[in-house]
Structure 1
Amino acid sequence: MASSSANIWVLLGLGLAGIILMTQKLKKVIKEDFGAFVERFQLLPPPQPAPPKAPHPLTGLSFAVSDIFDIEGFITGFGNPDWARTHETAARTSLAITTIIEGGATCVGKTVIDDMAYSISGENKHYDTPTNPKAPSRIPGGSSSGSAVAVGAGLVDFSLGIDTAGGVRIPAGFCGILGFRPSHGAVSSIGVIPVSPSLDTIGWFAKDPSILRRVGHVLLQLPYADSRLPRHIIIADDCFQLLKIPVSRIAQVVIKSTEKLFGRQVLNHAKLGDYLASKVPSLKHFHNKNRNGELKLSSISSLAYAMQLIQRHEFKTSHEDWINSAKPVLDPVISAEIRATLEPGDVNLDYCQSARGETRSALNALLKDDGILVIPTLSDPPPKLGAKEISLGDYQTHASSLLSIASMSGCCQVTIPLGSHDKCPVSVSFIARHGGDRFLLDTVQAMYASLQEQADIASKSNLSANAVSKEESAEIAKEKGNIAFKDKQWQKAIGFYSEAIKLNGKNATYFSNRAAAYLELGSFLQAESDCNSAIGLDKKNVKAYLRRGTSREMLGYYKEAIEDFRYALVLEPTNKTANLASNRLKKLFQ
């Protein structure tokens, strides 16, 4: 009896210890402030003006700033402890922060930023990665990760960050909040550490479109004017082809909202890549290479390559001396990228500058004063924490291609959340011409509620609709694979066919097509395996028998190969390929 009681107490003790341990682990995963802040403090606004003057426009609002903005009396950390160690406290506060505080808002602290603001992941090994409040197992996106998380978690009303090549737009999309990149040069960058000055912009985050607009009016110092609504909303169809989720989940939300608010006549469709190819002749100088040495055929991806060259060159100019002298410990994930940036190259920056000017002219001409360009913010959902996909070539190429449109043209862009898909936040982006910031803010204000309504309707689609959309997405992936196959890009084709199989693993054609690509690479075992899968799904798939026969012949399984070719002839007696292969093998081995 005593022994049983003792055992019960031991079990209870172990259970209690397990609960305490689990609680401690959860606290480590999600901190009280979601890991968003590196430093907390308060900078109070000036007293309210006496009546009859109106109160300050941002009265009662709190905000945070990325640790790239100078604040008098504080060291600006730039996401790296060695930078903080080797720099003095700031002598004055950045103009953007001063403007916001004078507008009535209270600054409550500095937030985590990627190491030297040179990444798009939001993962900082020095200060830990802020927890994405909408998807805790996913990255928050960078470089202004902490500022986005602080808003997404409801810790502040809005926040400031820096957007060079997506530093505000990406984390806004990944954390399910609004993110605004203004026209280049529209907000002063005095008192902000430069990353790439000709691309850098001071952006801001908010959950509420009204707050986003109020902050914009203060930062942009806009006088009162009547709101203007769009007369042309242009869907960039080719950009939406990059999406890894059903196109209807985003594009159709915008289309239905537009039709409801403004009528169908406002809607237009365009192939942005073709348009830029015709209007930006400088892009032809980037068609034949990219950062991985692969061919670049799309004008938009060429624009992204030009953006990367500018960013690398200007980052080197700004920070090479400090990196060489201080020899800082850099985040290992981005260390190689930064080191590569500092290596001498033979880049002709004149072409980059020409491409930038031509792109701005082209988009201004397309959008005029009353047009909005609609693109996906990113093609992929936020990767899981620690995943390697964010460093892969395809991911970087797709992300940079979409982000480069505003970065290179200097146009303003806003990220708008549209709920979630497969438990990950999704968003869309609106772009207006350079200098059209007020118009873009007005458009967001006018459309936001309708967009959320349509997004909610789309997210509540029944399971059969989801299945159909998955099948449609699989077909799109297969077609992309077929195009890559025709272009003799075998590995790329395998990637697309694999994506199709992941979306719909019951289609024999996807396995058979991937087998064909494996054959071209000499991967005969993989080809045979795929053919087995295809035949298991469809006993009458002639191509699968032919490809399995070829695989087995190359592997030395001649008897089995002859049987495959014979069976192909049973299914299709006039098939010349099967007939020739069968006769050839019979002569050799029978």
Structure 2
Amino acid sequence: MTGTATAGAFGLASAAASWAAPDPGVDGTVWREYGTPLVAPTGPGPLSGETVAVKDLYAVAGHQVGVGNEVWLAQAPVEPSTAPAVAALSAAGAAIAGISRTDEFAYSLAGTNGHYGTPPNPAAPERIPGGSSSGSASAVALGQATIGLGTDTGGSIRIPSSYQGLYGIRTTHGAVSTDGLIPLAPSFDTVGWMTRSRGDLIKVAGVMEPNLPAAVPFPRAVYAESLIALADPDVGSAVRGAIADWPAELPSIDRIEFDAGQLPLWVKAFQTRQGWEAWQAHGAWIDLHWETLNPDVRSRFEAAAKRSAEELADADAVLASARATIDGALGDAVLILPSASSVAPPRDSAALGGEVIEDIRARTFQLTCLAGITGRPAVSSPLPVAGPPIGICAVGPRNSDRALAALRVNGS
């Protein structure tokens, strides 16, 4: 392995072992490896001059993949080739600044990690960064990279984007290759990225999804008060304000009725399928290394290990019905809703038995699951608010990613 965060630095210690920064002066909660750059671009292109923080799930040739777990990293082989998503950025002129921290196995939405510490949230210093693409988000928010490459299964791009005032996109499921990516749940895993400007978000979309249309004639935008009501009052108020000030140049925005009472059932089905796939991917390794897992991630894998084939079949039936319902309600419209159910929770709330984080996670999942169930793209944009950042999310028709990235729902 190149770089300074070697397997020997972490050894085979327990999950409580202390982490070491990858280099003096580099924040080890943000970066696992860091260079100037770590990997040079492979060619000039539209991203020349840009730098990328690569979430520690993607293969980068000559480096290991650590998945946010010390023992996994210690056992991981050096990768012989680079994941296509990373290679596309490099070929377009972007330099790889480093490999950024992730929540363990990407199985969290908080951004906290008991192995390496919690990355900072420079937009709200006393609050968590959001996960699981936490390191990539923090690197961009800190100005240490211009592109934060991450993944989004259940909200892992949209939530840190919302918490840190960034632009972030979850791409259409299957539109960007996930080869060379350690999976969580392939039925929902997507490639995504975060930037400080909409212009950069659009530019990266052109590189990553060149075969998708740059413009799509969205017929209208819609919102549902039942979805906005899932969020805390300050978040709901900010989203309603953006809807009330809807830019005249965009498609009209109309209120629709949506039965939010079915969302807990949909979330349960989503998490059943997600957990089943996560266990298929990692169960054999985890069975030998339970003691290495952070408590929140361990609890999810413990639940995943108990899923039966009957439960999975029931969940898949619910998901199929949910997808038909959502597609029927939206058609080709763009759905506007909060990116997360709250602003970023205080950092100390993560240590209070998990109740605060889990409540927020449950409500947020009811919002983020809509794109996950349908495979639709979703873009989080920061709203101009005082205090901690708040994101507004646009969920578009499948394969409308590039046009959705350009849709200025927040006025900028």
Match of 1:35 among 26, 29, 33: 29
1:389 and 1:243 mapped to 2: Cα distance?
22
Aligned counterpart, 1:238: 226
Aligned counterpart, 1:575: none
Contact 2:62 2:78 in 1 (8 A): yes
Match of 1:136 among 125, 129, 141: 125
2:317 and 2:200 mapped to 1: Cα distance?
37
Aligned counterpart, 1:368: 331
Match of 2:94 among 91, 105, 112: 105
2:250 and 2:185 mapped to 1: Cα distance?
39
SS of 1:356's partner is helix
Match of 2:306 among 343, 368, 380: 343
SS of 1:424's partner is coil
Q: Which has the larger radius of gyration?
A: 1
Aligned: 1:325 with 2:313: no
1:358 and 1:79 mapped to 2: Cα distance?
35
Aligned: 1:261 with 2:249: yes
Change (3 A) 1:271 1:261: same
- 1:329, distance to aligned residue in structure 2 (A): 1.1
Aligned counterpart, 1:472: none
2:314 and 2:271 mapped to 1: Cα distance?
13
SS of 1:348's partner is helix
1:244 and 1:339 mapped to 2: Cα distance?
30
- 1:229, distance to aligned residue in structure 2 (A): 5.0
In the superposition, the TM-score normalised over structure 2's length comes to 0.87
2:43 and 2:190 mapped to 1: Cα distance?
30
1:206 and 1:262 mapped to 2: Cα distance?
22
Deviates more, 1:327-336 or 1:57-66: 327-336
Change (3 A) 1:364 1:391: same
Aligned counterpart, 2:258: 272
Between Structure 1 and Structure 2, the one with more helix by share is: 1
1:417-474 deviation per Cα after TM superposition (whole angstroms, max 9, x unaligned): 11335x2111110000122212312324xx45x2x5xxxxxxxxxxxxxxxxxxxxxx
Aligned: 1:352 with 2:341: no
SS of 2:33's partner is strand
* Equivalences for residues 170-569 of structure 1 within 5 A: 170-222=159-211, 227-246=215-234, 247-258=236-247, 260-262=248-250, 266-273=252-259, 298-345=261-308, 347-369=310-332, 371-387=333-349, 388=352, 391-392=355-356, 394-421=359-386, 423-444=387-408, 447-448=409-410, 450=411, 452=412
2:233 and 2:380 mapped to 1: Cα distance?
17
- 1:104, distance to aligned residue in structure 2 (A): 1.3
1:390 and 1:428 mapped to 2: Cα distance?
25
How many pairs were matched up? 383
- 1:115, distance to aligned residue in structure 2 (A): 1.4
CA RMSD, Structure 1 to Structure 2 (Å): 2.2
Change (3 A) 1:391 1:95: farther
Give the fraction of aligned pairs with identical amino acids, expressed as a percent.
28
In the superposition, the TM-score normalised over structure 1's length comes to 0.62
Contact 2:272 2:307 in 1 (8 A): no
SS of 2:382's partner is strand
Change (3 A) 1:262 1:218: closer
2:214 and 2:65 mapped to 1: Cα distance?
39
2:401 and 2:250 mapped to 1: Cα distance?
20
Gaps of 5+ in 2: 1-24
1:440 and 1:64 mapped to 2: Cα distance?
23
1:170 and 1:80 mapped to 2: Cα distance?
21
1:20-40 deviation per Cα after TM superposition (whole angstroms, max 9, x unaligned): xxxxxxxxxxx7648311111
1:198 and 1:344 mapped to 2: Cα distance?
16
Change (3 A) 1:389 1:417: farther
SS of 1:57's partner is coil
1:436 and 1:118 mapped to 2: Cα distance?
27
Change (3 A) 1:416 1:390: farther
Change (3 A) 1:241 1:311: same
Gaps of 5+ in 1: 1-30, 49-55, 275-297, 453-590
**What amino acid sits opposite 1:398 in the alignment?**
R
